[in-house]
Structure 1
Amino acid sequence: MRTIAYYVIALIVIIADQWSKRLVVQQMEIGERIEVIPGYVSILSHRNSGAAWGMLEGKMAFFYVVTIFVVGGLLYYFYKEAKHDTLLSVAIMLLVGGAIGNFIDRVLYQHVVDFISVWIPVIDYNFPIFNIADAALTIGVILLIIHMVFEEKLKSKVKS
């Protein structure tokens, strides 16, 4: 895959994230809920001035600095090491897109717009409200873990 195609992944995440958040902000009141799959999935207009689960609420300067360093580090690693590894490159660009998507919110609004609400009845758990950037970050981390597991297995086979 050409290097530019990986950057397109991050761009798609950022555009989809910002478009969906803008739609929620313009069309819904905070706290308003629209059922998508009644009892399981809904769109719930919410604002979060922290990180996941509301941690570090209001620490915007911290988020700015961390995001700049993380995105810079990810792009450097992509450029130096990862661009020839498809799985790793996709994971990194999902992380970059997700981080930038939430960074834009923090810069513009001093909070992140969250809106996807999921109820998991099997374990009676209301998952924290999230957005497309958060989903991209989560998928990126999962892909990184998969990459590390397979790379470790490959290294152990080569040693044998």
Structure 2
Amino acid sequence: MKYYIITLLIIIFDQATKWTVASNMNLYDSVEVIPGFFWITSHRNTGAAWGILEGQMWLFYIVTVIVIGIIVYYMQLYKDSYPWLMVGFASILGGAIGNFIDRIFLQKVIDFIDLNIFGYDFPIFNVADSALTVGVTLVIIIMLIDEMKNKGKNVNE
């Protein structure tokens, strides 16, 4: 149950930040927060990361529902073990639902975090995207650690 609270907090923070940007900034307005590095830029995305599959909302609906189902299944399966894996799943779930809400009600996703990292103008993203990235990274790390722990062990032992 506690991991679903993490999911809920991510959704609330994601939607609150998107609402704040959409309510207080015009589309494409930008405010520099850290000179040369971080801006809050009001942007909308009808695709996935980096704008790929632009306008394919039906695909995002299907994929998101499947991902939510799989994540909830695995959260129930591993609820009594692997706390960091559960945090990863909760983050993925929160991020997926946060962007799904935008897609359902707006047919686009509100993005606003605009970074320039070592001269690379990173695509604008949001809190849900960050949660998805952190969650997937945690799940991969936990899986790799678990695999390394079990490497060389005989499955029949």
Structure 1-normalised TM-score?
0.93
Distance 1:55 1:82 in 2: 34
The SS at the match of 2:149 is helix
1:156 Cα shift?
1.6
Q: Which residue of 1 aligns with 2:11?
A: 14
The residue identity in structure 2 corresponding to 1:92 is F
Alpha-carbon distance in structure 2 between the residues aligned to 1:147 and 1:96: 17
Distance in 2 of aligned mates of 1:130 and 1:74: 22
Q: Is the 8 A contact 1:14 1:98 kept in 2?
A: yes
2:24 to 22, 27, 45: 27
Alignment of 1:115-126 (within 5 A): 115-121=112-118, 124-126=119-121
Query: 2:55 is matched with which residue: 41, 58, 79?
Result: 58
Aligned partner of 1:52: which letter? Answer: A
Q: Give 1:81 deviation, angstroms.
A: 3.0
TM-score of the superposition, structure 2-length normalised?
0.95
Runs of 4+ in 1 over 3 A off after TM superposition: none
- Does 39-48 or 74-83 show the bigger shift? 74-83
The 8 Å contact of residues 115 and 129 in structure 1, kept in 2 or not, is answered as yes
**Equivalent residue runs for 1:95-106 within 5 Å:** 95-106=92-103
1:77 Cα deviation (Å)? 1.3
Q: Report the CA distance shift for 1:83/1:53 in structure 2 as closer, same or farther (over 3 A).
A: farther
The alignment's C-alpha RMSD in Å is 1.1
SS of the equivalent of 2:89 reads: helix
Q: Return the alpha-carbon distance in structure 1 between the equivalents of residues 54 and 40 of structure 2.
A: 22
In structure 2, what is the equivalent of residue 129 of structure 1? 124
Structure 2 unaligned blocks of 5 or more:
none
Report the AA paired with residue 146 of structure 1: I
**Any gaps of 5 or more consecutive residues in structure 1?**
none
State how far apart, in whole Å, the 1-side matches of 2:125 and 2:44 are. Answer: 10
Number of residue pairs aligned between Structure 1 and Structure 2: 154
Q: Match of 2:108?
A: 111
Q: Alignment identity in percent?
A: 48
1:152 and 2:147 matched? yes
